[in-house]
Chains A and B, each alone.
Chain A
Amino acid sequence: MAEDGKNKVDQLRQRYIVYQLLADAFFAAALAALIWSFGYTLYALSWIWGVLIFLLIYGFGLLLSRWWEVGTRPIITFLDLKYPDLEESSGLVLKESSTLNPLEKMQLAHVEDILESVPLTQKQFAYRLRLGILFFLVMPIFCWEITWLHNDWRIGKLKQNTSIVRSLKNNIVEKVLPQVNAVTIKISPPAYTRKAWREQDKFTIEAEEGSMTAWRLSLNVQAKTVELIFNNGDKLSLRKAAGYDYEGQRRITKSGFYQVSIDGKLSDLYQLQAIKDNPPVIHIKTPQQYTYIDAGEVPRVTINAALDDDYGIRNAFIYTTLAKGSGEAVKFKEQKIDFGASFSGQNPHYDLQKMISLPPLGMQPGDELYFYVQAQDNYNQLSRSDVYVVSLQDTAQLLSMDGLIGGVSVKPEFFRSERQIILDSEKLLRDKDSTSKEAFNTRSNDLGNDQKILRLRYGKFLGEEAESDINPKEEQNDAVSDPKNFGNAAVVLDKYSDKHDNAEDAQFFDPGVKAQLKATLTEMWKAELQLRLYKPEAALPFEYKALRLLKDLQQKSRVYVAKTAYNPAPLKMEKRLTGDLSKIIQPTDHQIVKPGSDEYRALKNAVGVLESLRYEKISSNVYIHTLQLANQQLSERASAQPELYLAAVSALRKIISTGRAKKTDISTVEKAIHRLLPVGKLLPSASQNAVDMGLSSGYYKNLDNK
């Protein structure tokens, strides 16, 4: 009797363990699905990985919980708790019957009766299992969300590229010879592209230039020769591998097309596209193509460049050339500057930044710096940017008095003044540490005042009103307030009428000079502002700019005529003015320009034949010959650009071989021909005369006789 109870408890235990294991399995599966879907989206893992992850999680879970170690004791406790009828004595079933006392034996008999009625399926046992199943059922929603909606997470370029290629090829419906069961093409891109090899089951190939491509054809019959014919000539015979399989390989260096020949039977034409590696593209965002650094500005340039390549960039450098001196004494110094970035990753895109301080390069005012960026990709293709120029203002020449002493000086005092302000500002900056703040500010303000006076003086040249005009009260001897002038309209008019138009008319500057003078005044305004704000260092660039503009103005008034040496041949006095032309021969030129034979003649002829094919079958050999010539031209084009012309070549071949044509074939060929043909050249031609038995010519004759 005791055995029955023990069995029952054992069964319950087993049931409990099975439930827990199942629950673990569901949990692990849900978790594995989640992880795999992440992995699939991000790294394109295969489903096998999903299974592996599941096994790993499940095994780990089992190790942690060790359900098989659960004994009967917890089951007994559970039963005692759930069924009060057992009277806390279900443990008796586990005891050896020999060790039981009579009371216990009685109780055992009672307990076993009750145990008999206890159901095997316990709700509490399945609690975790239900949770697990729920979890497992909800998980697909998350997985779907991750795998389908987050395509943008697919940073794995490899996966992306192959998927694009796959979709592209899937669009093409290929016609395969009936002998071919299947084809496997393995494309191994060259190492520098860092792309993994891939396999495809279509004949149309799109491969990186230099890829090793291996064909493996499974036929359904034994064939003597299996060949691939490239671009109408070059042949690659496939050797027999095993059974009905044939294989061969070749490196793809250029685009074109090929076809399969099995014992002389030719297949359709298949496209062969070589993807070229482009040299790196360099885009310099800063500085500008021509940068001019005025004196007083910080002498440095920040080079901001973006480099892009198809596969990876190996290195990039800045090549600088420093031009010192002027005229014949110009000297060049070349230097190669590292960007300071690491190219060990050979990434396809780099954003590079380099700040070049000019003085350490040995650049002084008046010098010019030329630089360009050169980048090399991992296929050792070089490309370089345009040359950029940075020049520093030459203060020495600007401040020199050479031009003024030369005698052409028109208004020397003005130029000296701006120069003087610059010198004073620089001196003020030098003395900054040794003077008090108040003294510094006062001197700066005074300089501002000087600048103002200078500006007003130049303003007069432009006909601007003088300061005094703006505030008439300040004027000392006001003619209007003089009692003697009371009622003198001329004086009043003179005082209050606006006469600056006359002042402008009085100038003999041309508009260009005036514009430059105005620009000078603007710079002076800005310099004055900074001086008044006690910032002579900020005012310096404006002062220099004003001085430069003034200097330019001064140079404009000069003319330079170079000295030349010319010795005319001596005149023959006896021949002079005789008008004798007898020895002058009349030149004649005779040329025959052979118009180049029209290279598109065959295609143009084919258009007419295709047109007639829409109504009837090809009858004459002349038509077929015309189409064959056109086919030759199209094939040549197709070997260069298979993606454009290959369909037309195979359509035209079909037309030639069958002698009849489908509408779609004709239109494919016509489209290709239209793409190839150049637009007709417009040339003069004569119109035709009307046939009128000489009626109109008789009219003209009589018209003249009237």
Chain B
Amino acid sequence: MSWTVIVLIICCLLAAFAVWKEVGRPKKVHLALRIIASILAAAAFACIILPISYDREIYVSDDHAAVLLTPGFNPDSLNNDKRDQLFTTDKSVQKSYPQAKLIRLDELNTDSPAFSKVHLFGYGLNNEELTQLNHLPVVFHPLSVPSGISQVNWNQKLKSGERLTVQGSYNNTGSKTVKLILRGLSTQLDTAIIPAKSNKQFELTTVPKSEGRVVYHLLTITGTDTLENENLPVEIDPVQPLKILILSASPDFETKFLKNWLAEHGYEVAVRSTISKDKFSSEYANMQAVKLEHLNAGMLEQFDVVIGDLSVLKTEGALKSEVTQKGLGVIIRADTLSKGSSWLQTNFPREKLPVKNLSPVALSIRGRKNRSAPLKTEQTFIREMTATQSLVSDAQNHSVVSSSMAGSGHLVFTAVANSYNWMLAGDKDDYAAFWSLLIKNAARKVPVSESWSVAEFPTVSEPIDLQLQSGQIPGKIIADSAVIAPVQNPDVPFEWSNKYWPITTGWHSIKQNNGQPQWYYVYGRYDWEPAKAAEKLAATRHYTETYPANSSVTKQIHEKMRIEVPKIYFYLLLLVACVYLWAEGKLIN
């Protein structure tokens, strides 16, 4: 209010000053006109600064509907009688169909009589645009999903050595087979074939060789034509070594090989093997020696994973609270001696197969495509329980490694006691895959103070929502080089949303003051078009379900609408007044 008053006072003073100057002028030929012009100029100036609006009553009639055209619409699908109310928000649509009027979405709500519903043709609108419709009921005339990659997903963040898997579905409406090619570092890495006239799912995988931020490419080719060349941004982080404690009931090869393999890759490993009653042999790799005879909570807190024989782990009292409260992971190796009902083994009842074929079996390790090299296992398997998840199993789906949750920690139970045979046979990849899976599933989660998430397909020149999860109130948030202000989620207090409009494609970063920068990839306008169209279709369908057009009472019959007067009129008025004052002075002379 005070702003309006200040502006009014200044403008009145300005007008008074101008009138006084006019009156004081020696030439008084057109004095009255000049005074009017001066006052008009001051008034126009005030109107430019102040918002001027007026109220209008809007009538709603049920049959008054707008037609909104979005990209991909088919002109033949329009009925002639709707032609006078055609709108679009897309320039390319207007170009191809000039009858449509180019508008902003919010203008749909200001027309009088008000539209009772909107007929939407084409692929529809995205979530951001749908919110601008302001609950206006929509009748959607959707298109079928366009030809191309209609859905896609891949692990955008992975650790080095992990497999990049691109999955999705391809809608091939053409009459030729389509070849999908995954390319990275200008090298063809994997391909899939989609037969003609089919909607098929595909999976392309590769193990990335480089580190850091890389863009892989997904090409779709028919014959010699490239239909799509899409970017697959991937961020590959180096692996952070963990701290691992191994407790073994006796010195054995399994422990020795595991310790050597972990130590070789920079992991901090402590090994305690029982050699006699109350006598232990201790080994330390890449870490300071600590007393391991009696384990207490403080000592266990230093480690991320404890690997041990069941008979040893059962005797460690400090273990349980550390696992359930602090999230320590435990990998339990079943030694044949143990029977009982310890908390470590209740979830993992074991069975011995009656058959006496001790032939080596190939194990399928979760997350790996191929079966491992054959390994001679003891014929004991872990029965599936409701709360367990099988990690490694044989061809008959007998689980040999299983995991379950224990409070905030994880238990992994393994019946494989001779995985070192893989190492001896030279199958290092199998060994690495096996133990990586086990340790990864068990390891204590790394505490973080902030985490960022970005909506799917951030597109250039469109607003994108960057979600920050942070325990503390975030400091200054810098996207690229601009400072943006976060909005706190009123329901989830640690969630902060940030809006940003990127203006270039490629990698962008966002970080909060003294935090780690988060990188995200901004796609071009025409990247992933079929997938975006499919997304729009889904979003618009969801919107039409929420605000259906046939609901009887959506708006009052009479509605008062506050409408702002466009500023351009006041600019013109100011210009005319000023021009008159200037020209009059010149012409009189």
| Chain A residues engaging chain B, CB cutoff 8 angstroms | 579, 581, 584, 586-593, 595, 603-605, 607-608, 611-612, 615, 666-668, 670-671, 673-675, 677-694, 696-697, 700-701, 703-704
Contact = CB atoms under 8 A, between A and B. Distances in A.
A591 B212 contact: no
A667 B186 contact: yes
Contacts of A683: 159-161, 239, 265, 432, 436
B283 A703 contact: no
A607 B242 contact: no
A671 B186 contact: yes
Given A590-B284, A604-B212, A608-B214, A682 B436 contact: yes
Contact of B263 (A591, A615, A681): A591
Nearest to B208: A680
B185 A607 contact: yes
A428 B275 CA distance: 75
B209 A686 contact: no
Contacts of A704: 321, 324-325, 407
Question: 7 tightest A-B contacts by CB?
Answer: A684-B439, A667-B186, A674-B185, A686-B443, A677-B209, A680-B161, A682-B161
Nearest to B261: A683
A274 to B, nearest CB: 28
A590 B288 CA distance: 8
Contacts of A608: 210, 212-214
B471 interface: yes
B577 interface: no
B451 A690 contact: yes
A591 B449 CA distance: 33
B161 A686 contact: no
A688 B451 contact: yes
Contacts of B471: 691, 693-694
A686 B435 CA distance: 13
Contact of B285 (A591, A673, A682): A591
Most buried by A among B187, B242, B321: B187
B443 A604 contact: no
B285 A593 contact: yes
Contacts of A604: 210-212
A692 B469 CA distance: 8
Nearest to B212: A608
Given A589-B282, A593-B264, A674-B187, A681 B213 contact: no
Contacts of A587: 275, 281-282
A686 B264 contact: no
B566 interface: no
B212 A684 contact: no
Nearest to B160: A680
A674 to B, nearest CB: 4
A55 B266 CA distance: 84
B423 to A, nearest CB: 14
A640 B469 CA distance: 52
A607 B210 CA distance: 7
B185 A684 contact: no
Contacts of A612: 506-507
Contact of A607 (B214, B436, B493): B214
A581 B278 contact: yes
A593 B448 CA distance: 28
Nearest to A664: B186
Contacts of B445: 686-689
Given A593-B263, A682-B429, A685-B443, A584 B209 contact: no
Contacts of A588: 281-284, 289
B443 A700 contact: no
B494 interface: yes
A487 B199 CA distance: 80
B446 interface: yes
Contact of A684 (B276, B435, B469, B505): B435
A703 B264 CA distance: 39
B335 interface: no
A686 B187 contact: no
Nearest to B321: A704
B450 interface: yes
B243 to A, nearest CB: 10
14 contacts: A579-B277, A586-B279, A587-B282, A592-B285, A595-B265, A607-B185, A680-B208, A683-B159, A683-B432, A684-B242, A686-B445, A688-B446, A690-B451, A703-B407
A704 B323 CA distance: 12
Contacts of B278: 581
B325 A691 contact: no
A678 B494 contact: no
Contact of B286 (A592, A603, A670, A682): A592
A608 B321 CA distance: 45
Contacts of B446: 686-689
Contacts of B185: 607, 670-671, 673-674
Interface in B159-184: 159-162, 184
B398 to A, nearest CB: 24
B303 to A, nearest CB: 12
B339 interface: no
Contact of B209 (A579, A674, A693): A674
Nearest to A691: B469
B511 to A, nearest CB: 15
Contacts of B160: 680-681, 683
B89 interface: no
B408 interface: yes
B304 interface: yes
Nearest to A689: B445
Contacts of A703: 324, 407
B224 interface: no
A423 to B, nearest CB: 47
A608 B265 CA distance: 24
B283 A674 contact: no
A417 B122 CA distance: 98
Nearest to B213: A608
A615 B304 CA distance: 42
B79 interface: no
Contacts of B304: 686
Interface string B197-212: 0000000000111111
Nearest to A680: B161
B470 interface: yes
Given A680-B208, A682-B161, A697 B440 contact: no
Contacts of A605: 212
A682 B494 contact: no
A595 B407 contact: no
A670 B187 contact: yes
Nearest to A673: B185
A685 B159 contact: yes
Contacts of B282: 586-589
Contacts of B187: 670-671, 674-675
B347 to A, nearest CB: 16
Contacts of B239: 683-685
A592 B504 CA distance: 47
